[in-house]
Amino acid sequence: MGISARNQIKGKIESVQEGAVNAIVTLKTEGGSTITSTISMASVKDLELVSGKDATAVIKATSVMIGVGDMKLSARNQLTGEIINVTEGAVNASVTLKIDAENAVTSTISLAAVKELGLAPGVKAKAIIKATEVMIAV
């Protein structure tokens, strides 16, 4: 099955913390980053998610925020890296952030935000993704 989500990051499940309704699934990427996902217990059971299983974190580009500087946030995923590409459109821009040796994350944000934050290749930044916005595929 092909999907349109721009960010498909492969790795291995590091842990599954089960709750009554949801679980927190932690994925260690092939490049060494950690991505956390909050998904339903039904999905954990249906996908047979356990530590050590190969999986892919799937994240829509519109669910990825970009930040610069020191930030204290509740978002579980704060992936530090360097911007490697900015493609500007009339209203929005596509920003790609290299997060480790193997992976990059792409964000679709407003052109105004790109200008206000001074986003350009070489700038250090963070991709901010709520755990509830991360899907897990196997």
Of residues 43, 60, 3, 49, the one with CA closest to residue 26:
49
Tell me whether residue 48 is in a domain.
yes
Is residue 37 predicted with pLDDT exceeding 90?
Answer: yes
Here the CATH number for the domain that contains residue 94 is 2.40.50.100
Tell me whether residue 62 is in a domain.
yes
**Contact status, residue 109 vs residue 93, Cβ threshold 8 Å:** yes
**What span, in angstroms and rounded, lies between the C-alpha atoms of 60 and 58?**
7
Tell me whether residue 50 is in a domain.
yes
What is residue 16's predicted lDDT score, i.e. its pLDDT?
A: 98
Is residue 120 predicted with pLDDT exceeding 90?
Answer: yes
Residue indicated by tokens 């909050």: 38
Tell me whether residue 55 is in a domain.
yes
pTM (2 d.p.): 0.95
Domain span at 127: 7-137
Q: Rounded to 10 degrees, what is the CA torsion of 110, 130, 77, 69?
A: 40
Give me Rg for the CA atoms of the chain. Answer: 15
Tell me whether residue 1 is in a domain.
no
3-state DSSP assignment of residue 36: strand
Tell me whether residue 80 is in a domain.
yes
Tell me whether residue 2 is in a domain.
no
Tell me whether residue 59 is in a domain.
yes
What is residue 1's predicted lDDT score, i.e. its pLDDT?
A: 78
Domain count, the chain: 1
